[in-house]
Chains A and B, each alone.
Chain A
């Protein structure tokens, strides 16, 4: 050992001597080759010498070197560069950003680590580099197709609507399946906090997403913590994965301003095809004849869906309701930021404004947001900082799906109905009922205004050289104001003995969420004898979340704006004339909720000789959501890694530059079950005759505890051909036990249908393989081409259901179920055997003898249901290409999903064979008409016997939803340096970006990417794959300009 050192010193001296003769001063500038910005802190050293220096804030350096010697430039994140000293005393060096991912820094819970040392499974998305943030307000869309094992499906094209994110499949039934979101180290809340009462919230079918208050342009990177060793440090909340968002920080150097503007247009990706009004009338009469009736006399009034019409009068009406309700959406985005700083203080200041007119008429979304991130090195040992953001969103929503709007346009708004009566009034107003006229309903308003502050402060103390302490405090505040206004053409009141009048009304609600979060932890980092690396982190975390809401409603159908001129606030409402006023015109209500977490955590990572890695973590999580005996859950995890490429037998290998095996095993938990579920309680409802009543709210179970997932992970990370190929292959197995579920209780016991239990005998398994590969195919200075592929498969299976039958798990819509041996959310349907050519009836297969027979009664369907379909895809993934040539950049991302089926819950009424109330899809034109017809659309009928209600679901409406789509296409041109300089800019870029421009799918409905509106966690876990009258996705194209100066 000592001899080796000595030898080294001698060699260095010797080389120093040999070159000492011709030394001279070399000066130069170092910049980043991608944007020519100066790089500060680049180490410049002379090969085989001790001499080194560091570049200053302008990227300048000066060093004494001799001709022929080599200067080595090293900088984190960049390729090491060697430049030989020639005759020039000045040089300009452009460092190339490292293509490999091995040395990137990844954020792990309560700390960071180098990628090569990580033993867990973490996907990192270079968000600011890869994602065009101008298209949608929600950052989650940027994850689509970019990380293996992460499935992201937006509900629809409505800006700010809910997005379903699943990391490595799904574990829970009752508990939320959403991952934990952490912004700059502090958990933030996600979900929808709008009014849950569907009678008040008319736009409920399209859930909102409070995460859309976060401006994607502020995001630097996103890490997805997938396996147990990565997420167990978040213990109780880690079972669904953790999404860690890091916002942009200041950078040392000259202040750099960046301005971005873009404008774009969007339209639906695909349109559902419905038959014309004439065809509908023909089919209606055919159905009547099939039922043994005569065709309708076209001169006699007929009432359907509350609209009365005489066919002869409307024979020429063929309203295209979908056309009336959709439009070309417009999106505009402005973003300005400044980042800079010096050795002591760095800052990032940014602001953005986004305005989006959705593709649904009347649906508008505006967001204005600002952020300040400041880091200050106060003394040598103390650093502190703040990350502060505020955003204000104004979200004008319109009903859709079952709520009306486009949902009505594809169902009950018959094409026979005109939009307007001949006198110019809206059709429907003459019946005091506009339920079948979604255009008239657009006069109603539903507006949500929210202000959200996400603020964190932190302080880092260096106690000794190797021990530091960090305290973080986060405050996440949402202030949300919702108002609903029903126009008088859509709301009627009839007083006894007076004619019916239109009576406008308003509903208001104010919600405040206050979520405080504190972390405090020690980090000990030391190296012993140059080969033992130890990092230990230990600390605690508290969270305190409170929700308050108050609302005001009209107290009765007879209450509204008596003087319609004053219709701004609920206080202007009164009792309609002729009504019997009973108490105050406006009712108020009040909601409160709260929960707390208290957690302790520790983690140790040990590395030996840069080859062998061992890690262990432990978290104790306490939550107010459980009874006092079960408040705490304990979540340990261990991991190990072996960097084979550091071993002698691979160290000199020309092909394999990096090779690491890693494995982990551990426990994570889930407690997202709502608050106080353990506690039996009474609420003050159920009054009688004017006296107050109190009613038991639920059955108590003080024994409920954390849902646990144990996860095993093994993977291999590799780097080949000197950074040409980087990738990883991983396998995981995740077993969820103690699954929290509402165990059915016979309603005869208490009238309450369920008891929340940790079902020990309910087991869900997720098995999967994930593969990621990055190829830096071309790495020339002027021409670069990087291709990224990720593909993952997840097999979800319910291993045990604790004896609960398929109908036992409540809240399942569209006949989606939990069935032993099948994935969560499997459809439980009668298997259709097509249409009997002789009778025209739909046949189903008997589960007793497998024979097909005509299904005539509801019980023919219900007693022959079996698990069918495929809620989860066989595999999902993305393929991204980033090319740059001189001033041009081109990138295109395809994402794909293969093998999943969706149960189209609306199709059964749009093409099921029963008509009379709904618009029909064009497939119906091919219905059975006479014996011998071979078709899959049965004989048409109007009778209830064939009515395809909830008990009449068959596999006929299961559709393959595989797709491949051009998720994102980006083309950019940077103006030449000469032009820019003249304009005083450091860079100027024009870009055009498209999303969802191309989709290949067999699915005939609106769009294969769809999820059912999901009001409860249980619904979103189980019924996601059974959409009902969905709202389509959008394709968008934007053009924009980006300036830096």
Chain B
């Protein structure tokens, strides 16, 4: 009797123990385990969309990466009290950055987040983790991921490192991340690669992407976007031959037109619109809008207490008839002027590269290469002047005349689009009374990196 009882008790326990492993193995409901996710094409594509989403984020290309470059340079009025007293932006006014600065934190972690997502896609293609895609689909997925990886690395190296025009082979750039790390690998600190190495990686990625990308791709990366970005990267490097080749290709073969109005590039919404010669843009729609930061800080709904007013000295140099002054800056003639490129109560796409830049790049490259016809060079930037309602330049003909005209046009055309700082550095000019290669003007590598990577070279 007693033995029987004990036997049943033991039997009961055995049953419980065998059942317990199963009992404890439950799966999350709101998330999917990473072992399963990448087994379908649709999911890998969704990871790619999330990579685009990181570039779209107001913390990166579609927001603070642009803001950082504008606050580094001289288009914004640095004396606005709300800017000075802003905890995030105030340090730009006196170049007194700390490792906790939120602009640095945002650009760094969101940029590398985009790279991580891109690397997951590339890894999934390379390792053949999903079977339900054709070879062509896989090639395309990888090419788009490579484009995003290059775009992100380029934004990071521009924001956090000295320019290519200084000493690219010795200056620290940013860490290069081109693999999907395991958690163990992620714990291993990676130091900053040299500026030249980072640029080389960007070019490698873009060239591979360019070959595989289609000419149109419903608002996502295209071969033209890759070529235009290559033109920008080579231009940064002072490699005017290559910059010419790519910008020329985009202008002549890309089929882009400037459109009828200077405001067009800044009023596109959603993936279907790309008016005004936009080659690549950050897409914002109602329900998925990250343009609020730019619209809220370069502009706002009450048209008062704006944080980034335009520098009055720069504003006063616009011709009174310039449409870019009268349609893209508000209020015309006021001392406290502000940009209207990112404005309105509703989402707008943020242009990343547009045809206007390609004209300016090709024009300058043509001069730099030498042996040009001055009228052809003038024609490039006169396209922009004409659109802005200004008389075309018919006089500039020497190297210095042309370069001055192009560079001046570039500043007007690309004002508050995050180009100015890199232009000044490429030309080795002083930036708000600091030398172009003075590290104190750069954001610090943020605490989110240094706390795990104490030996990383700091700015």
Interface residues of A (CB under 8 A from B): 303, 431-432, 463, 494-496, 500, 522, 540, 542, 555-556, 558, 579-580, 582-583, 590-596, 598, 622-624, 628, 631, 675-676, 679-697, 699-701, 743-753, 755, 804-805, 807-808, 810, 857-859, 862, 916-917, 942-945, 947, 949-951
A-B contact pairs, 9 of them (CB 8 A): A494-B301, A522-B9, A582-B285, A598-B24, A684-B46, A746-B189, A942-B85, A945-B96, A951-B98
Cβ–Cβ < 8 Å partners of A748 in chain B: 108, 112, 174-175, 177, 190, 449, 453
A429→B91 CA distance, assembly (Å)? 33
Cβ–Cβ < 8 Å partners of A751 in chain B: 54, 109-117
Contact A752 B113, beta carbon cutoff 8 Å: yes
Known pairs A689-B288, A916-B85; list 7 more (Cβ under 8 Å): A682-B31, A686-B117, A687-B49, A687-B53, A690-B271, A944-B91, A945-B94
Given contacts A631-B24, A755-B187, whether A744 and B34 have CB atoms under 8 Å apart is no
How would residues 50 to 62 of chain B score, 1 for a CB under 8 Å from any chain A CB and 0 otherwise?
A: 1011101000000
Contact B28 A675, beta carbon cutoff 8 Å: yes
Which listed residue (A697, A749, A862, A949) contacts B112, Cβ 8 A? Answer: A749
How would residues 1 to 36 of chain B score, 1 for a CB under 8 Å from any chain A CB and 0 otherwise?
A: 000010001000100100011011110111111110
Contact A688 B288, beta carbon cutoff 8 Å: yes
Size of the B side of the interface (Cβ < 8 Å), in residues, is 92
Q: Does B312 contact A (CB under 8 A)?
A: no
A690→B21 CA distance, assembly (Å)? 41
Which listed residue (B87, B219, B301, B453) contacts A746, Cβ 8 A? Answer: B453
Given contacts A596-B26, A684-B46, A700-B34, whether A693 and B53 have CB atoms under 8 Å apart is yes
Cβ–Cβ < 8 Å partners of A743 in chain B: 187, 452
Contact A917 B85, beta carbon cutoff 8 Å: yes
Given contacts A580-B286, A623-B24, A749-B177, whether A694 and B47 have CB atoms under 8 Å apart is yes
Contact A747 B108, beta carbon cutoff 8 Å: yes
For A751, give the chain B residue with the smallest CB separation. B113
Cβ–Cβ < 8 Å partners of A805 in chain B: 451, 454
Cβ–Cβ < 8 Å partners of A858 in chain B: 91, 96-98
Cβ–Cβ < 8 Å partners of B450 in chain A: 807
Contact A944 B271, beta carbon cutoff 8 Å: no
Contact B186 A628, beta carbon cutoff 8 Å: no
Cβ–Cβ < 8 Å partners of A693 in chain B: 46-50, 52-53
Contact B183 A755, beta carbon cutoff 8 Å: yes
Cβ–Cβ < 8 Å partners of A556 in chain B: 286-287
Cβ–Cβ < 8 Å partners of B85 in chain A: 916-917, 942-944, 947
Contact B285 A680, beta carbon cutoff 8 Å: no
Given contacts A631-B21, A805-B451, A805-B454, whether A749 and B46 have CB atoms under 8 Å apart is no
Most buried by B among A594, A751, A755: A751
Contact B449 A746, beta carbon cutoff 8 Å: yes
Most buried by B among A495, A747, A859, A917: A747
Cβ–Cβ < 8 Å partners of B314 in chain A: none
Given contacts A694-B46, A699-B183, A917-B85, whether A592 and B30 have CB atoms under 8 Å apart is yes
Contact A750 B31, beta carbon cutoff 8 Å: no
A804→B187 CA distance, assembly (Å)? 12
Q: How far is the CB of A392 from chain B (nearest CB, A)?
A: 28
A700→B5 CA distance, assembly (Å)? 45
Contact A694 B50, beta carbon cutoff 8 Å: yes
Cβ–Cβ < 8 Å partners of B129 in chain A: none
Which listed residue (B33, B46, B91) contacts A679, Cβ 8 A? Answer: B33
Q: Does B276 contact A (CB under 8 A)?
A: no
Contact B452 A746, beta carbon cutoff 8 Å: yes
For B349, give the chain A residue with the smallest CB separation. A689
Most buried by A among B5, B113, B186: B186
A676→B24 CA distance, assembly (Å)? 11
A947→B93 CA distance, assembly (Å)? 13
Cβ–Cβ < 8 Å partners of A542 in chain B: 23
Contact B28 A676, beta carbon cutoff 8 Å: yes
Q: Does B376 contact A (CB under 8 A)?
A: no
Contact B286 A692, beta carbon cutoff 8 Å: no
A463→B8 CA distance, assembly (Å)? 14
Q: Does B318 contact A (CB under 8 A)?
A: no
Q: Does B394 contact A (CB under 8 A)?
A: no
Which B154-198 residues sit within 8 Å CB-CB of chain A?
Answer: 174-175, 177, 181, 183, 185-187, 189-190
Given contacts A695-B117, A696-B116, whether A689 and B283 have CB atoms under 8 Å apart is yes
Cβ–Cβ < 8 Å partners of A804 in chain B: 451
Contact A750 B186, beta carbon cutoff 8 Å: yes
Cβ–Cβ < 8 Å partners of A591 in chain B: 30
Contact B186 A676, beta carbon cutoff 8 Å: no
Which listed residue (B5, B37, B116, B344) contacts A750, Cβ 8 A? Answer: B116
Most buried by B among A679, A694, A746: A746
Contact A540 B346, beta carbon cutoff 8 Å: no
Given contacts A686-B50, A807-B450, A947-B90, whether A679 and B28 have CB atoms under 8 Å apart is yes
Contact A944 B84, beta carbon cutoff 8 Å: yes
Cβ–Cβ < 8 Å partners of A943 in chain B: 84-85
Contact B37 A694, beta carbon cutoff 8 Å: yes
Q: Does B373 contact A (CB under 8 A)?
A: no
Q: Which 5 A-B pairs have the closest CB atoms?
A: A751-B113, A686-B50, A582-B286, A944-B90, A693-B50
Cβ–Cβ < 8 Å partners of B218 in chain A: 689
Q: How far is the CB of A31 from chain B (nearest CB, A)?
A: 46
Q: Does B372 contact A (CB under 8 A)?
A: no
Cβ–Cβ < 8 Å partners of B112 in chain A: 747-751
For A676, give the chain B residue with the smallest CB separation. B28
Contact B113 A593, beta carbon cutoff 8 Å: no
A101→B25 CA distance, assembly (Å)? 46
A701→B120 CA distance, assembly (Å)? 17
Which listed residue (A598, A690, A947) contacts B288, Cβ 8 A? Answer: A690
Q: How far is the CB of B340 from chain A (nearest CB, A)?
A: 13
How would residues 79 to 115 of chain B score, 1 for a CB under 8 Å from any chain A CB and 0 otherwise?
A: 0010011110011011011111000000011111111
Cβ–Cβ < 8 Å partners of B50 in chain A: 685-688, 693-695
Contact B186 A755, beta carbon cutoff 8 Å: yes
Which listed residue (B43, B99, B304, B446) contacts A862, Cβ 8 A? Answer: B99
Contact A808 B452, beta carbon cutoff 8 Å: yes
Cβ–Cβ < 8 Å partners of A699 in chain B: 183, 186
Q: How far is the CB of A160 from chain B (nearest CB, A)?
A: 28
Q: Does B270 contact A (CB under 8 A)?
A: yes
A692→B110 CA distance, assembly (Å)? 19
Q: Does B448 contact A (CB under 8 A)?
A: yes
A744→B189 CA distance, assembly (Å)? 10
Q: How far is the CB of B295 from chain A (nearest CB, A)?
A: 12
Contact A753 B186, beta carbon cutoff 8 Å: no
Given contacts A805-B451, A947-B85, A947-B87, whether A859 and B47 have CB atoms under 8 Å apart is no
Q: Does B305 contact A (CB under 8 A)?
A: yes
Q: How far is the CB of B49 from chain A (nearest CB, A)?
A: 4
Contact A682 B32, beta carbon cutoff 8 Å: yes
Given contacts A624-B26, A807-B450, whether A695 and B47 have CB atoms under 8 Å apart is yes
Contact B94 A950, beta carbon cutoff 8 Å: no
Cβ–Cβ < 8 Å partners of B136 in chain A: none
For B42, give the chain A residue with the smallest CB separation. A692
Contact B31 A753, beta carbon cutoff 8 Å: no
Cβ–Cβ < 8 Å partners of A495 in chain B: 345
Contact A683 B452, beta carbon cutoff 8 Å: no
Cβ–Cβ < 8 Å partners of A682 in chain B: 31-32, 34, 37, 43, 47
Q: Does B447 contact A (CB under 8 A)?
A: yes
Q: How far is the CB of A686 from chain B (nearest CB, A)?
A: 3
Cβ–Cβ < 8 Å partners of A598 in chain B: 20, 23-24
Contact B113 A807, beta carbon cutoff 8 Å: no
Contact A944 B93, beta carbon cutoff 8 Å: yes
For B183, give the chain A residue with the smallest CB separation. A699
A560→B271 CA distance, assembly (Å)? 28
Contact B30 A683, beta carbon cutoff 8 Å: yes
For A861, give the chain B residue with the smallest CB separation. B98
Q: How far is the CB of A540 from chain B (nearest CB, A)?
A: 6
How would residues 438 to 456 of chain B score, 1 for a CB under 8 Å from any chain A CB and 0 otherwise?
A: 0000000011111111101
Cβ–Cβ < 8 Å partners of B287 in chain A: 555-556, 582-583, 690
